[in-house]
Structure 1
Amino acid sequence: MGFKKLLASMGAGGASVETELTELNVVPGGVVQGEVRLQGGSVNQRIEGLNVGLQARVEVEGGDQETKQDIEFTKQNIGGAFEVQAGAVHVVPFGLEIPWETPITTIDGQSLRGMSIGVTTELEIARALDSGDLDPINVHPLPAQQAILDAFIRLGFRFKA
């Protein structure tokens, strides 16, 4: 039994997490709804916490080069400490508010290149490697923002990059 716990602490046979979103399309100031499904592994494990958040993939400039980096810009705790039994399934519903300053990723059904936002799920397991999940969402403009974009399109502007 001790060997299984050691393997679970390194991720083999440990608890896993999967997030299902009710709707992938959101607007700033809205709420993304979903549920986190936690599947117990081959041994009982102590869960220290369960969090969901929003993460953006951004370009970071340093010196003469640009790199892409994942930045989490909001986080919400949806579950405290508990023990998940081997093989058991726990379902935790959540509603995560989309901050007003969240970048738009989709306009008129077209994804903007270089814009990627996703819902992160983080499972904090005692004495184990971090277990997580990332689910992309589409952030659409608010009606006022869409009106301005429509005006630019009527003036002949097009999205290039």
Structure 2
Amino acid sequence: MAKLVLSFQGRVLEDFPLSKERVSVGRAPDNDICIENLAVSCRHAVIETLLKDSFLIDLGSTNGTFVNGAAVTRHPLRNGDYITIGKHSLTYHSETYSSAEADVEKTIAMRPTMKRAEPAPIPMIGKLTVQNGGSAGREMILSKPLTKLGKAG
């Protein structure tokens, strides 16, 4: 059975097995996966599972849903997909892929000359350049789906 692992700032919060055909994600407490964060819509997204395939569907959320850094409205999920909703992330793990991956890793372990490829870096989404003032010329990389500017308060 596939599962989603909920994380915040790199810390794992909870695992959610995809045991139902439709799993809801959002800020409202009646969602299957409740994420208490104002950047998350009350009814943000759903994961629909048919047989062994899962699909992520954004429900018209205010701040969007991102898979591996790209905004999506409907997306077939693959093992290891990194879903960003607000400031939280969900990592999709497919059980069928995991067992096949484990067999491959056993084979690779027998060949010490082969090195595992590094994961691809998350692509830069954008760049902001300060045009005037004390910080003129300063560049800020916009690598997150949501970036706040200015001082809090």
TM-score range, shorter chain: 0.3 to 0.5
**TM-score normalised according to structure 2 size:** 0.33
Which is richer in strand? 1
- Who wins on radius of gyration, i.e. which is larger? 1
